[in-house]
Chains A and B, each alone.
Chain A
Amino acid sequence: MRAQLLSPCSEVVAGQTLNLALALEVDAGWHVYWRNPGEAGGPPALKQLGGERPVELPLRFPAPHTLVEGEAVSYGYPDSVTLGAQVLVPDNLVAGDRFRLDLRATWLVCNEVCLAENQALSLDLPVTHKAPALSPAADRVQHAIDALPAPLAGLQVSKIPGDPNELRLELRFPAGSGDPGPGTAYFYCATKNLVRPSAPQAWVRPENPDQPFTMSLPLYRGASLPKVLKGVLTLESSVEEPVRPRLAYTIAAPLPADR
C-alpha cells in the first residue's frame, strides 16, 4: 500500500491553518485501522519531522466499520481511506518564502499478514501574501473533510444506571433531524478496552416519538468508565430503496460517576 499527502492549496499564506488529507491506499483485501483498533491491529499515525523531536499530528478519521479477523473483532476500513490532518503555516513567513513540511506516516496494514509500514511525505509550497491558489487535489481534500463525522447539534446522550457489565444509554434526537428511520445503530467507542467489539449492541426505537432511543453497550469485565464517553455513532436505515447513506455523528457524553 502507499500513503499520499494531499494539500488543497498550491500556495499558502503565513499563519494559515492548512487542512490536509492523508490518503491510505490499500490493495484489495487489505485493511487499516481506526483510532481505536478494537480487538486487533493498531491505528495509523502522522508525525511532523524537522524539529528537535517528531511531533505527532492528530488525525481525523471517517466512521469506521467492524472487521472480523479470526477470533478478534476490530475497527477499521475494508478499503482505502482518507484521513484529515491540520498544520499551521508559521506566521513569520513572508511572500517569496517556501513552506516546507516533512512528515512520516506510519500504519499497520493487515489481511492474512500484518505489516507495519511507514512512508516519508513532504510538502514544499510557495508563500504568497494574497489568497492562495487551489491545488488540483482541492476537491478531493474537501470531499474527505466533508465525509468526517461531526457532532449532531441537539443530540442528547445520557447514561441509564444499571448492570455494571453494560453501558445503557438514552438518546434523544433533535426534532426533525438526525434519525434516519428504522434501522440499526452501532457505537464505535474511541476509548480502547471499554466497549466489547465482539458483543452485539442493542438499539431500541421508542414506540412513542416523545420517548428516547435506548442503546446497550456491552463492556469488558472490570472496565472502568471514563468521565466522558467518546466515539462515533453510526445509523443505517433498514429501508433499501432508495439507498440511504450511513449517518455518523461524533459523541462526547459526560458519564455520571455512579457506577
Chain B
Amino acid sequence: MMFLDRYAHPLSESMKLLSTTAVGLAAGALLTACSSSNSSLATTQDLERAAREISMAIGETPRPMVDTGSTVPAGMESAAEATAQTAESAVQALEAAALELEQFSDELEQELSDDADTAVDATTEQAEATLEDVTPGAANALAIRTEGPAIVGEIAPEFTLRDQAGTAHSLSDFRGTPVVLEWFNHGCPFVRKHYGTDNMQGLQARYTEAGAVWLSICSSAEGKQGFTAQDDLTALVEQHGMASTAVMADADGAVGRLYGARNTPQMFVVDAAGLLVYGGAIDDNSSSSPSTVEGANNDVAEVLDALLAGEQVEPRETQPYGCAVKY
C-alpha cells in the first residue's frame, strides 16, 4: 500500500485555508468639491493654499452649465433649480472664505516681513478676482473640471465624445440630470453576461425613460477586442438592442484613462450637479456566468433610484470586475 500512502493524502489544510472570502466594500470617504478654508490658517503658505482651493472650486473658466432653451429634457428644469440653490450656497461659502482671507491678510500685514506682505496681497487680490468671476452667474455652482483623475465625491471630469450619429456631446451638456457612464466591450464575457441576459439593455431603457442620461463608452483600441469604428456604432446599437442615450467610441482611450476605467463592465454615476457619486461595479457578483445576474445586488440601480427620487446620495465606490479595458 505504499503507493496509496503517496497519493491518498487527506484534503490538505492549505487548500481549505485558501478558500476565498467575499468582502463587502464599505463606502469611501466623502470628499467635497467646495471645501471651505480652515479657520486656523496662520501662515502665508496656508493663505496661498486657501486661494488655490477657491480657484479650484470655482474653476478657471466658468461658463453657463445648462442651456435652458428648447432642448431641455423633461425634469431638467427642477434639477437646474436645485443646482442653482447649490450654487448660491457655494457662493456664500466662497464669500465667507474671502472674508477670512481678508482678516488674515490684515493680521499678517502687521506681523510679517515685506516679502510675506507682498505674497498676502497677491493672494487676496487673486481671491477677490476669482470671486468677481463667479458672483454674477449663480448657475456656476460646480465648475467644469477638465483634468483627471476621476475621484468619487468630486466633480466628474469633462470629456467630449461623438455619439453613434456623429454628434459630439460633452458631459457638461447634461448638467441638471443624472448621467450614467458605462464602459463596455461586446466581446468581453463579463459584458456578454449582462447583455446576453438583457440586464444591461433593461437598465438602459428603465433609467433613460426615468429621465437619466446613459452614455455607453468603448475604449478598446483598434485591433483589440470590442473595437468599433465610428461608422459601425449604429449597427452595434441595433445588434445588441442597446437603449443608451448615446453609444460612444473612445478608441484612443483618453476618456477611459481620464476616468481610470480598468474593467468592462465598469460604471460611473454623475449627479445632476456634476458630482461623481458612484464608481465601480455594475453589481456584486463578479462571476462571468449569466446565471449569476439574477439575485445580484445592483449598485448602479440603487444609486440611480435614489437620485431620481430626489434623495441625497452619499458618494460610493466599489471595485469593478470584468475584463481589463483593451487600451
Which single member of A35, A108, A223, A252 contacts B25 (CB below 8 Å)?
A223
Q: For the complex formed, measure the closest distance between the CB of B288 and the CB atoms of chain A, giving whole angstroms.
A: 5
User: Which chain A positions have C-beta within 8 A of B188?
Assistant: 114
Contact A151 B262 (CB under 8 A): no
One digit per residue, 1 when the CB lies within 8 angstroms of any chain A CB and 0 when it does not, for chain B 170-205 equals 000000000000000001111010000000000000
In the complex, the answer to whether A222 meets B25 with C-beta atoms within 8 Å is yes
Q: Which of A110, A150, A194, A220 contacts B12 (CB 8 A)?
A: A150
In the complex, the answer to whether B262 meets A131 with C-beta atoms within 8 Å is no
Give the residues in chain A near B11, CB-CB below 8 Å: 17, 86
Which B residues touch A16, using CB under 8 A?
A: 4, 7-8
Whole-angstrom CA separation of A148 from B11 in the bound complex: 13
List A residues 200-235 near B (Cβ within 8 Å): 220-224, 226, 228, 230-232
Contact B263 A226 (CB under 8 A): no
Within 8 A of B (CB), among A1-58: 8-9, 13, 16-19, 35-36, 39-42, 58
A176 sits at the interface (CB 8 A): no
Which residues in A have their C-beta under 8 angstroms from that of B23?
191-194, 223-224, 226
Residues from 204 to 255 in B contacting A, C-beta threshold 8 Å = 223-225
The interface residues of chain A lying within 8 Å CB-to-CB of B20 are 35-36, 190-192
B171 to chain A, nearest CB (A): 20
Q: In the complex, which residues of chain A have a beta carbon less than 8 angstroms from the beta carbon of B322?
A: 40
Q: Is the CB of B327 within 8 A of A134?
A: no
Are A74 and B8 in touch, CB under 8 angstroms?
no
Q: Is B93 an interface residue (CB 8 A)?
A: no
On whether the beta carbons of B288 and A230 are closer than 8 Å, the reply is no
Stretch at the interface among B26-34, B120-128, B304-312: B26-34
- In the complex, are the beta carbons of A150 and B14 less than 8 A apart? yes
- Asked if B326 CB lies within 8 Å of chain A CBs, one says yes
| Interface residue SS majority, chain B | loop
**Residue count of chain B within 8 Å CB distance of chain A:** 53
Whether the Cβ atoms of B24 and A224 lie closer than 8 Å is yes
Indicate whether A110 sits within 8 Å of B323 (C-beta atoms), given known contacts A40-B262, A192-B286. yes
Q: A70 within 8 Å of B by Cβ? A: yes
B189 touches A74 (CB 8 A): no
How many pairs of residues, A versus B, come closer than 8 Å at their CB atoms? 151
Residues in B whose Cβ lies below 8 Å from that of A39 = 262-263, 319, 324
CA A42 to CA B19, docked complex, whole Å? 15
A182 interfacial contact with B, CB 8 Å: no
Q: Are A70 and B319 closer than 8 Å at their CB atoms?
A: no
Q: Which of A108, A142, A250 contacts B288 (CB 8 A)?
A: A108
- Contact partner of B27 (CB less than 8 A), chosen from A9, A72, A222, is A222
Q: In the complex, what's the smallest C-beta–C-beta distance from B209 to chain A, in angstroms? A: 32
With an 8 A cutoff between CB atoms, is B137 at the interface? no
**Which 10 A-B residue pairs are closest in the complex by CB-CB distance?**
A69-B324, A116-B189, A40-B324, A252-B17, A71-B262, A113-B225, A72-B324, A114-B323, A72-B262, A193-B319
Binding site for B on A (CB under 8 A): 8-9, 13, 16-19, 35-36, 39-42, 58, 60-61, 69-72, 74, 84, 86, 108, 110, 112-116, 131-132, 134, 142, 148-151, 190-194, 220-224, 226, 228, 230-232, 250, 252
13 additional contacts, CB 8 Å, given A17-B7, A190-B21?
Answer: A17-B11, A19-B7, A19-B8, A39-B319, A42-B190, A42-B287, A70-B262, A72-B262, A112-B224, A131-B1, A132-B4, A191-B21, A222-B27
